[in-house]
Amino acid sequence: MEMRRLGRTKMIVSAIGMGGIPIQRVSESQASAVIETAVSYGINFIDTARAYSDSEAKIGRVLVRHREKLIIATKSMARNREDMKKEIERSLQDLKTDYIDLYQVHNVKDESSLEQVLAPDGALVALKEARELGKVRHIGITGHIPAVLVKAVRTGEFETVQFPFNPIETAGIEELLPLASQMDAGTIAMKPFAGGALKNKVLTLKFILEKGFATVIPGMDTPQQVEENILATEGRLLTEEDNEVLREEVSALEGNLCRRCEYCLPCSQGIDIPLVFLLDGYWTRYGLQEWAVEGYQPLRVKASECADCGECETRCPYGLPIREMLREAAGHLEKR
Ligand code: SF4
Ligand code: SF4
């Protein structure tokens, strides 16, 4: 396994890390088998979150056997000091450890969230206090909007930055990735397969690693997926033919893949358009129909409530036929 330095944290992480979303949906023993397989192949970086239901707890069961050699990253959506303090304690408890290597502020999606995090009673204060106490070793940030993350990285408060990156979602390449390199913030590529849309997995992971990320964290819930993903760090660099394969795959997806950039919002009816498409992706591409329908039910405004005003489509930089896509999503997620 190729190892890389995670920016100024100076932690040495496996180029292929493990994303902790999918193990939510498998049994405890299956989750343990996947994590043990990952460890046996030299994967030492595992990323999870408070928001991933029992993912931290499942990782914690294996972590007790390998604490010294594993680097655990987790994250919370808490935005103020008190809430973040509680979240850190819960993470320590669920992960069954007395320290967390990297604690990230999760999904900072706009400037007002970033301001809350950085405020005098914001989440960052709790993270710094936990770092002083040795409960957290390093502090990072995650999100989907490069412009917000650029502002965050520039503050110098975050030692790592995690954002979606893959052959079809390359928005971070112009400013965020070079800035992170300049400020020596460790880079973590999430959603490498664009929510299951990209099928050439090994080529996709190689593409991401060749852009200079410290680690990329595909979600894995079977030992076979671990074995497939680690092939990306072996063998040759991408050839011109490989790049052509990726370009063709991207152009086939381009007209109907939501990148969750949120430029289409706000919807005049209040539909959370990117979230509907994310859930529809789980329904159509992940074969997780029940899980997707369950996640869709709490949505205050449903896709079928689109009033057809078309405003969102004028704002989507990818020219997606949002209204048509919402009708399809409603057909999948609302039909029972
Ligand atoms: S077309 Fe539908 S989804 Fe788009 S802004 Fe109008 S109501 Fe919202
Ligand atoms: S529908 Fe378009 S604008 Fe809205 S989040 Fe998706 S890609 Fe971005």
Q: What is the CATH number of the domain that holds 171?
A: 3.20.20.100
d(CA 63, CA 1): 20
119 and 7 within one domain: yes
- Using DSSP's 3-state secondary structure scheme, residue 210 falls into helix
Structural domain that includes position 284: 273-333
Name beta bridge partners: 237. Answer: none
Flag whether pLDDT at 195 surpasses 80: no
Residue 69 alpha carbon to ligand 2 centre in Å: 40
Residue 130 domain-assigned? yes
Residue 196 domain-assigned? yes
Q: What is the pLDDT of residue 54?
A: 87
pLDDT tens sequence across 266-287: 999 999 999 999 889 888 877 6
% of the chain with per-residue pLDDT over 70: 99
Residue 44 near residue 16, CB atoms below 8 Å: no
When pLDDT is averaged across residues 202-217 and rounded to a whole number, the result is 94
In the numeric block, which tokens belong to residue 213? Answer: 């990320």
Domain count of the fold of the chain: 2
Q: What is the pLDDT of residue 302?
A: 96
Q: Which band of pLDDT confidence, cut at 50, 70 and 90, is reported for residue 108?
A: very high
Q: Which band of pLDDT confidence, cut at 50, 70 and 90, is reported for residue 336?
A: low
Question: In the structure, which protein residues have their CB atom closer than 6 angstroms to any atom of ligand 1?
Answer: 267-269, 271, 273, 306-312, 322-323, 326
Which strand (E) or helix (H) includes residue 154? helix 146-154
Pick from 262, 268, 305, 316 the residue to mutate for probing ligand 1's pocket: most ligand atoms within 8 Å of its CB. 268
Among the ranges given (169-183, 245-259, 279-293, 315-329), the one the predictor scored with the smallest mean pLDDT: 279-293
d(CA 194, CA 205): 12
- Using DSSP's 3-state secondary structure scheme, residue 144 falls into coil
286 and 142 within one domain: no
Longest dimension (CA), the chain: 56
When pLDDT is averaged across residues 123-136 and rounded to a whole number, the result is 98
Residue 306 near residue 323, CB atoms below 8 Å: yes
Mean pLDDT, all residues of the chain: 92
Question: In the structure, which protein residues have their CB atom closer than 6 angstroms to any atom of ligand 2?
Answer: 258-264, 273-274, 316, 318, 320, 322
% of the chain with per-residue pLDDT over 90: 71
Residue 164 alpha carbon to ligand 2 centre in Å: 14
Pick from 308, 314, 315, 328 the residue to mutate for probing ligand 1's pocket: most ligand atoms within 8 Å of its CB. 308
